[in-house]
Structures are given as C-alpha cells and as structure tokens.
Structure 1
Amino acid sequence: MYSLLTMRWELKYVVFLIFALAVEVKGSIKVCKKYSDFYISGSKDCWRNNYDVLDVSGIARTWGFKTENYSLILDDGYIITVFRVYNEITQNTPIVLGHGSLTNPLSWVFAGNNSLPYVLGNRGYDVWMVSFRGTAYSKGHVSLSPTDHKYWQFTFHQMGIYDVKSTLDLVHNTTNKKAIYIGYSMGTTNSYVYCSMLPDHCKQRLLGVISYAPVGYLLDAKGVLPILWQPFIWPIVKGLTYTFFGGEFLKVTPAYQFLTKIVSASPLANYGVAFLVGLFEGIHLNTLDPSYIPVVIYRWLDSIGIEVYTHFAQVCVGKNFSQFDYGKLGNIEHYAQEYPPAYPISDISVPVAMFVGRNDYLATLTSSSKFYDTLNSTSQCGYAILEDSKWSHYDFAIAKTLPILHRPTFDRIKDMEQGKCNASLLISEQ
C-alpha cells in the first residue's frame, strides 16, 4: 500500500534529482566531437563551449575578429541592434546578414569555423548582422514596452521597409559602399518586401540578394505549421498568445532555459529536439554536429511577434505573397481596396540568387521556383538546388555540411560584384 513514508522517500528522490540536474547544467555547455564521446567519462574529445554565455560580438572576438555594435532608432519608433564583425577588411563589398524567425543573429555564428561570418571575415569581408525587431537584442522602442500589446503589432512587412532599410542605410553611410544581402528563411522574406516595395532605394544600397531557404510563396508547405495556420486553428493560437504573453510568440522564460540546458546535455534528447523541429521544417538527423548542436538547442529560440506568423499564415492559406490582410474594412483603410495587394516581385531591381533544399518543408521547390520565375529576368541570378535529398530548412543554418554552401555563395558574391549572373546551379557534396 502506498504509504506516507514511501511518498516522503520519493519526494527526497525528486529533490535529489533536481539538484543533480542543476549541478550538471551549471557552467558552459558540454560539446564533443562525436555523440558517443558524451558517454565516455573524461573524454579528451569533449569540452565546454562558452558560446552559451556570449553574445554575437563576444563569439566573434573569440575568433580574433574586431566588433562594433550599433543601435538604430527606426522611422516607426522601434530600436534594433546591428552587429558588425570583421578581421582584416580586404574586400570591397560589405555583406549584410538577415536571420530567420524564432531566432536572432546568434544563429549565424553557432557553427564556429563553419559559420558564414567566420568564413566571410577570414576572406576579408566586412560583415554586418541585423537583429530584427522583437528579438533579444532588439526589444527597444521610443515609447512602447514589450509588455504592451501594441509593441507586437508588426509583421515581416515592417521588418522589410524599416529594419532592412535602416540597416542598409547604416552600412552605406559608414562604408560608402553598396552591400550584398544574404538572408535565411524570414530574413529572405524581409529582403523581398524591402526590394519590391522600395526598389529604387534597394538599387542604391545593394549589389544583390542571396537567399538561403527563400520564403516568399508558401504554395505547398508541409509539416506542422500549415496545419496550425489554418483559419480554424490559428485564431486560437493567436488568442492564447495575446492572453498569456501579450503578443510575444514563444517567449523565452528562465524555466525554458533551464530545461533546454538539461536537454542539451543528452545526445538522445538532441536527436529528439531535431526530430521535433524537423516536423516543422524537414527531418534530417544525420546532419547534426555535436560540437555545437547542444549550444544551438540552448540558445537558438528567440521571440517573435505573433502577427508575423499571422502574416505567414495568410500567405500560406491565400497562396499568394501579399501584404497583411486587415479584413475588408481594414484593407480599405490601409490600401483603398477590399483585398491586400500582392507584393510587386517583378519590381525587384537587383540580382537575386536562391539556394533551395529538396527536403525543405517551407521553402519548397514549387514555392521558391515560382517566386524566382516571377522575378524580372534581369534580376534572376541563379537558382541552386542542393543535391542532398535530405537537405532541410534548418540545414542552411546548422548543418555540419555547411561548407558545401560557401563556395557557391562566394561565386554568387563575385558575380554580383562583377555584374554578371548564372541562370542555374546544382550544388553537390562532392
């Protein structure tokens, strides 16, 4: 029979377990060369990765890079941070990086020597990383607080016409040079908004746009997100987000951080997290690198405004890359018409190159190729498909095979600098 003594013993066991876990997760994240090394006590192939306590600039400084941080007050009152990292600048073109959703510029630097900023910097490029509004480094506003519902009333449209525009103004005013913008996932969406809505400004500031996992159309998106975005589900998700988090979608809490630090210490849990993320973005488990994936699990997630995903939901359900739908009356007020206008993709006046994965649940071949085909022919600067049939959405940011992207990326950079483009590419791991 279940006794009081038994219950007391079990409570003591639970307390002991929590204490043990707290001791285990104290300090920097443990990483190893191979996942099997995690199970070898005192393995020389394991070490503590201090990326879990450093910001973007701090990580870049461990590479021996110089860093600068800029705070920008945007035209609509939001305050964002832009990170500049470089080694010895020998190249003429600044590179601006725009991160994806539910993360921040840390997503560009987790992979250490395989990170795009590291490779760019060591090739002499001046690298700038924008932290889009609402993320940990860009939660400021001249009059609103993130605890205010009104703070989160923005979509990727505002990120494009304000965040991207002001970042490129900063880069141009600092260097007096045109840049090349490299975006990942939502970072590509923001660049398409900017260059289609402000084509003249885009042409004055950019030599071209390079897109990893390009998200414009969402014609045949797969996985969990298209289900959540359905009209009979998403209003519930949106309502709960406003009720409990004031409009801040997937708010990072101390409890979440404690849990993910525990999960990061377990190889099995690493694969479990990757599988769950794969249900949203495309499953590809053999691409995980244990030398940095535990840190990714602990630090990847960042907040986003719920209306950003509402806008993506509208794009997905409506099968068109259009501006935000405010409803019939709201649309008349904003656009003087009942339906939101489509973004004028053919107005993009700079070269655009795309890199697409076959197993990407969001930036599918169908959706990305339609966007590319809608571009003006003079702006088509290469549509590259990764040969790896398992290459998914998140592989563009964290795959251990990231170096296969670097050579073709530099080829596109050189083409844009020289004013020439190749129509199509097939990227192999060979």
Structure 2
Amino acid sequence: MGPGITMNSMSYIDRGNKSLAFFLANAGYDIWLVNWRGTRFSRGHVTLSPDNRKFWKIGFHDMAVHDLKTITNLVHAETGRKAIYIGFSMGSTVGFIYNIREQKSAEKTLKTIIHLAPIARFDHSTSLLKYLSPLWPLVRPLIMIIWNGEVFPYNKHSTFFCRPFPFQIKLCESFLKPFFGRNLQHTDPLTYPITNIQNRDSIATGTIDHYAQIIQSNRFAEYNYGVIENLKKYHQAKPPLYEFRELTLPQIMFVGEQDIMATIEDTRKIYDLIPKKSKCGYYTLKNFDHSDFVISKNAVEVYYHKLLSAIQDTDSGRCRNN
C-alpha cells in the first residue's frame, strides 16, 4: 500500500478499524506498508544524509523504478506470491510508472494495481495547486535556503492550530478544500486530530518539480532536464511520455465525484487509454473528494466493501471491465 504526497504509511493505519489496512487485514490479507523516500520512516541512504541537498533531488520516477521495484521484489521473495498494489494519489502515479517502465519486474511481482484518486493528468483539475504551479520556480529557491530541499519537514507541533476543538478542525479542513475538494461532510471529528498529526510528512523538491512540469506541459512524461540534457539522457529534445497503452497488469480505479485534483474527467480519460485486457474496473464514489480516501468517517460504507470485492475478484482471476 503506497501513500500519497506529503504522507506516510500511517495514513493507512492510524484510525484503527476505520483504517483501510486494518479493514483488509481483518478480511484475511497480509498487508505491506510503503513509506516513500524522505518521509520520517524512510530517511536512510548509503551515502547521502537528509541534510544534503542531493538527497532531495528524488522524485516519483525514482520511487517507481527503484523503491517500489525493490519493495515488490522483497515481498515476492518473502511470500513467494504476487501482491496486489494499492496506491493513493501520488502512490498511484508511482504505480503507473512502475508498470510502464519496469514491466518485467511488475509482471513478476504484482497481480493487479489498484488506484485510489489516481494522479497523472490535470486537464480538468480545478485544484489550487494547479494554478499555483507556475509560481513554483519562484518559491523553490526559498525552499532550498530554508529547508535545504525538504518541503514541509515533519513537525508534530505544526498542526497545533488544527486541534483539538471542532471549529479548529473545520477551519483547517476549509483551508485544504481548494486543493482537494469541496466536501466537508465526511470529516471525522474523532480521528481528524490524529490523522492531522500522523499522516503529514516531508516531500522532496524533486517530486514537486516533476509534478509542476507535468501540469505546465500537459504531458505525463519523464523529468525535463532541458533540451541539451534531454538529448544526452533520452536522445530526444522532449522527455518521453509515460504511455498508458503500455500498462500490462490489470488496473482498477476508484475516483471521488467531488475530487478536484484527480477529476472524473481526467481519470476516465486515463482509463480509456489503458489496453482493454488491463481494464479491470472503474468506480466512482458519490460525494467523495481527494482526501476522503484516507480521512472519511464513512469510508467503510462508501468504498471499503467495493474495494474488497474488487480485490477478491482480481485475486480469483476475475476482471470487471467497465
């Protein structure tokens, strides 16, 4: 299970039985939790320290072709079985790239990829992040000076203003809605103070660089190093696209109707580009926005059971092509 951007694996477990990992574990599944490079649970490196700017040049391409590849190979070696990968938000971006760029490894170690609020296109996104992306080149130098390339370093005290009273929760959630969606009815006042502290984590400048490029170019492509470096690395002026038609594993998508980041229009476009043999289900969730996938008090009723049914189908070799 791969978490989203600025998140760690706590997002799958820190709400007890309301958490997706516990729900699936109670259904009998063995759960392996991923923590992307740079989060507080994954800061080790053979030669680089998190205090070194080079440590933060990593992006989701690296997470796909190195980190997720290594993780799935480990799980396969330990269990002797193919796993089902579930990726939320950026975790889905990583899943797409892993299957596209590392097909042999993905086919050897994975049975299916399930995308929750998949991020790869921003054509119809109305998220404030999309409109702020042109400003990123101006903000980036300040990030390098202040945090040395680490964006939003984890600090449990940084969420002080979002807890513990209901009006504080609503205020902070209202602040986030222009980025992720317009729905407040799913916010869980009992667990929000916990998720607000536990889920949030660091992200690398390299990851934001890459997303900003995708938004500005309107191309789901590899990192753009500039024409000269692109010619050296890719042997072409523009970075190569990640082609959805090259996906080989069964793909299942869950999308929130009120998600303004991973919109229904964009995710449906992605699903339509996937080869027919790899289409295994496209599900829309009523009144769900982007963050609801990990914080909704109604997650069990709205999508956990649908997700479990989809997992059981694909685990048995059945595929719902819709």
Q: With structure 2 as the length reference, what TM-score do the two structures score?
A: 0.97
Structure 1 gaps, min length 5: 1-96, 425-430
2:289 corresponds to 1:392: yes
Aligned residues: 321
Q: What is the CA-CA distance between 1:185 and the residue it aligns to?
A: 0.3
CA offsets per residue over residues 133-155 of structure 1, 9 Å max, x none? 01000011111111111001111
2:151 corresponds to 1:238: no
2:316 to 413, 418, 421: 418
In the TM superposition, what are the counterparts of 1:315-354 in structure 2 within 5 Å?
315-354=214-253
Q: What is the CA-CA distance between 1:178 and the residue it aligns to?
A: 0.4
Where do 4+ consecutive residues of structure 1 move more than 3 Å? none
Q: Distance in 2 between matches of 1:158 and 1:150?
A: 13
2:294 corresponds to 1:294: no
Give the letter for the 1:334 counterpart: K
Q: With structure 1 as the length reference, what TM-score do the two structures score?
A: 0.73
Partner of 2:254: 355
Q: What is the CA-CA distance between 1:248 and the residue it aligns to?
A: 0.4
Q: What is the CA-CA distance between 1:379 and the residue it aligns to?
A: 0.3
Do the aligned partners of 1:218 and 1:320 also contact (CA within 8 Å) in 2? no
Q: Distance in 1 between matches of 2:122 and 2:206?
A: 17
What root-mean-square deviation, in Å, do the aligned CA atoms of Structure 1 and Structure 2 show?
1.2
Do the aligned partners of 2:258 and 2:286 also contact (CA within 8 Å) in 1? no
Q: Distance in 2 between matches of 1:223 and 1:123?
A: 35
In the TM superposition, what are the counterparts of 1:185-264 in structure 2 within 5 Å?
185-230=89-134, 233-253=135-155, 257-261=156-160, 263-264=162-163
Give the letter for the 2:257 counterpart: R
1:281 to 180, 188, 205: 180
Q: What is the CA-CA distance between 1:114 and the residue it aligns to?
A: 1.3
Same amino acid, percent of matched pairs: 33
Q: Distance in 2 between matches of 1:239 and 1:259?
A: 22
Q: What is the CA-CA distance between 1:103 and the residue it aligns to?
A: 0.9
2:268 corresponds to 1:366: no
Q: Distance in 2 between matches of 1:177 and 1:105?
A: 22
Q: What is the CA-CA distance between 1:420 and the residue it aligns to?
A: 2.0
Q: Distance in 1 between matches of 2:197 and 2:309?
A: 33
Q: Secondary structure at the match of 1:141?
A: coil
CA offsets per residue over residues 147-191 of structure 1, 9 Å max, x none? 111001111100011111111011000000000001100000001
Partner of 1:140: 44
Q: Secondary structure at the match of 1:229?
A: helix
2:11 corresponds to 1:107: yes
Do the aligned partners of 2:107 and 2:249 also contact (CA within 8 Å) in 1? yes
Do the aligned partners of 1:157 and 1:190 also contact (CA within 8 Å) in 2? yes
Q: What is the CA-CA distance between 1:267 and the residue it aligns to?
A: 1.1
Structure 2 gaps, min length 5: none
Partner of 2:203: 304
1:407 to 289, 302, 305: 305
Higher relative CO (Cα under 8 Å, sequence separation at least 6) belongs to 2
Q: Normalized per residue, which structure has more strand?
A: 1
Give the letter for the 1:186 counterpart: M
Q: What is the CA-CA distance between 1:260 and the residue it aligns to?
A: 1.8
Do the aligned partners of 1:264 and 1:298 also contact (CA within 8 Å) in 2? no
Q: Secondary structure at the match of 2:280?
A: strand
Give the letter for the 1:402 counterpart: A
